[in-house]
Amino acid sequence: MSVLSLIIIAIHFVLLFILCLFGLHRLSMVARWFRYRQHTPKTPKKYNHLPKITVQIPLYNERMVAKRIVDSIVKLEYPQDRLQIQIVDDSTDSTCDLVAERVKFYQMHGIDIEHVQRTNRQGYKAGALKEAMDTASGEFIAIFDADFIPHPDTLLNSIHYFTQSNVAMVQLRWEHLNRRSSLLTKTQAIMLDAHFSLEQQVRSFAGMLFNFNGTAGIWRTSAIIDAGHWSADTLTEDLDLSYRAQLAGWKMIYLNNIPCPGELPADMNAFKTQQYRWAKGGVQVMMKMLPTVWKSKIALSKKIESTFHLSNNLAYFVMLVDTLFFLVPSLFLRDKYDYLNVWWVDIPLLLMSSGGHLIYLYWGQIALNRSKSRALVKVPNLVMLGIQLAINNSKAGLEALLGRQSEFVRTPKTGELQDAAQAPADSAAVSNASPVTRYKAAPPRGAIFECVIAGVYAVVLMWAVSHQHWFMLPFLLLLTIGFVTSAIHSFYNHYQLSK
């Protein structure tokens, strides 16, 4: 066997081992959850006099949900003389008029609410939040995206955790307004449930660095300023600020017991748009903050955990590079030189890498006391969705590694409220019922490439069958079907929205 052949096979196993490490880290989250599952933040000392809070609602072309969020936010149960509401609106469409009408209506009823608009979109969401703070009068800033509907008692239930003077931010657990809307939203909900019920819970109570999720959270105003303020040099300004604040000595708290319902992307294109932004932004923050993390004086365990946290979005890129450039050549080479008997190395690594993620996602449902059987039934959907995101998120990670900048593309919302059990009691009153044209998600630029990749795997699948390499069939079959269905969903949803 030539040196080049050995290098190709070696790289394949190195990449597979890296994926295995990501899978084992997910398994460690499940294991650590058993230690921290009963942990809740200490009951805070109550404020004698409630501090002033500024509630910021960042908007950009959100006419499907704009009225709903404004009508919801004014129902927050907090002393009116202690509450300021800012609708931070960068919209360029009819959303501006809709918001202006609702703001004027509530101002006439004595509510401290203002419509903060900019003449440009510089810095996107981070820029809008930063500029709005010039007129924010609250000692604390509560942030809710336009597609979230906080319960009326949300502020009263969470503000007292700030009686600890070193607390910078309190993050609430996301729930999902349209969880049962479709198979896609059900699968997304399982993915997010694991992030909150396992990752956020474990990292928070283990004293590790964790992140504000961009919405459904409250910040101490002085902490934002002390950490260097909002920055728009990454697409995930929330993750960036979280790390800068914690490295500056501030503490953050995750409240698993206080939920805040929000809307999940309703179609595959919208979902990919959101995942692309999160994946690219996550890698951007990794490149920006990871050197600082390792130079800091925090414990080694925190540095290692932060490395996994900030680099996890590269797992898709590693998987795609391996399967496209090294798996197939290594199969041919091992077949040529009769080294396919080392499949017993592939199988354990594949099981640990993919199995670790699936157990993590499944256990996220157990952590929230959801149906175990329903979660188990959704496992195949989780596998398929992961494959369907591979090219989308790999491209995002690669662009971040290459330093390519892109604009902050907001995720289209529909304003639907399907999950009555998790929506606020008055959700029917605040839902947008009037039929209007939906926003369109980004065109499926990667769909054709997904078809091409599916064709490549189909050819390899037929080769594996003809050479009776049966151990590779399930893996190749899942990849082929995953990329085909992803492309079909993208084309179909784009066609539906363009009609």
What are residue 3's phi and psi, to 5 degrees? Answer: -65, -40
SS3 label, residue 190: helix
Give the pLDDT confidence score for residue 339 in this predicted structure. 62
C-alpha to C-alpha distance for 384 and 478, rounded to whole angstroms: 7
Work out the percent of the chain whose per-residue pLDDT is above 70: 90
Angle at alpha carbon of residue 335, lines to 333 and 336, rounded to 5° = 65
Q: Which residue do the tokens 């604040």 mark?
A: 245
What are residue 4's phi and psi, to 5 degrees? Answer: -60, -40
Give the pLDDT confidence score for residue 445 in this predicted structure. 63
Within 13 Å and on the Cβ side, how many CA atoms surround 465? 9
- For residue range 299-355, list pLDDT tens digits in order: 999 999 999 999 999 999 998 888 778 877 887 777 777 665 556 677 788 888 888
Confidence of residue 431 (pLDDT cuts 50, 70, 90): very low
**CATH class of domain segment(s) 1-442:** alpha beta
Give the pLDDT confidence score for residue 437 in this predicted structure. 57
pLDDT at 90 over 90: yes
- Mean pLDDT throughout 385-400? 90
Give the pLDDT confidence score for residue 495 in this predicted structure. 65
C-alpha to C-alpha distance for 28 and 38, rounded to whole angstroms: 17
C-alpha to C-alpha distance for 33 and 368, rounded to whole angstroms: 12
Q: Where are the domains of the chain?
A: 1-442
Give the pLDDT confidence score for residue 434 in this predicted structure. 43
- Mean pLDDT throughout 141-157? 97
- Is 369 exposed, middle or buried, given 0-12, 13-18 or 19+ CB atoms closer than 10 A? exposed
pLDDT at 436 over 80: no
What are residue 138's phi and psi, to 5 degrees? Answer: -80, 145
Give the pLDDT confidence score for residue 206 in this predicted structure. 95
Give the pLDDT confidence score for residue 496 in this predicted structure. 62
C-alpha to C-alpha distance for 276 and 262, rounded to whole angstroms: 19
Q: Regarding beta strands 217-220 and 167-176, do their DSSP bridges make them parallel or antiparallel, or are they unpaired? A: antiparallel
SS3 label, residue 297: coil
| Residue 158 C-alpha from the chain's centroid | 22
- Closest-CA residue to 102 (of 82, 87, 117): 87
Give the pLDDT confidence score for residue 333 in this predicted structure. 78
- Mean pLDDT throughout 87-92? 95
C-alpha to C-alpha distance for 386 and 357, rounded to whole angstroms: 10
CB 49 within 8 A of CB 163: no
Confidence of residue 428 (pLDDT cuts 50, 70, 90): very low
- For residue range 57-80, list pLDDT tens digits in order: 999 999 999 999 999 999 999 999
Catalytically active residues are 90, 238
Give the pLDDT confidence score for residue 494 in this predicted structure. 61
**Mean pLDDT of all residues in the chain?**
88
Give the pLDDT confidence score for residue 483 in this predicted structure. 83
pLDDT at 286 over 80: yes
pLDDT at 430 over 50: no
Work out the percent of the chain whose per-residue pLDDT is above 90: 62
Give the pLDDT confidence score for residue 305 in this predicted structure. 98
CB 232 within 8 A of CB 126: yes
CB 254 within 8 A of CB 210: yes
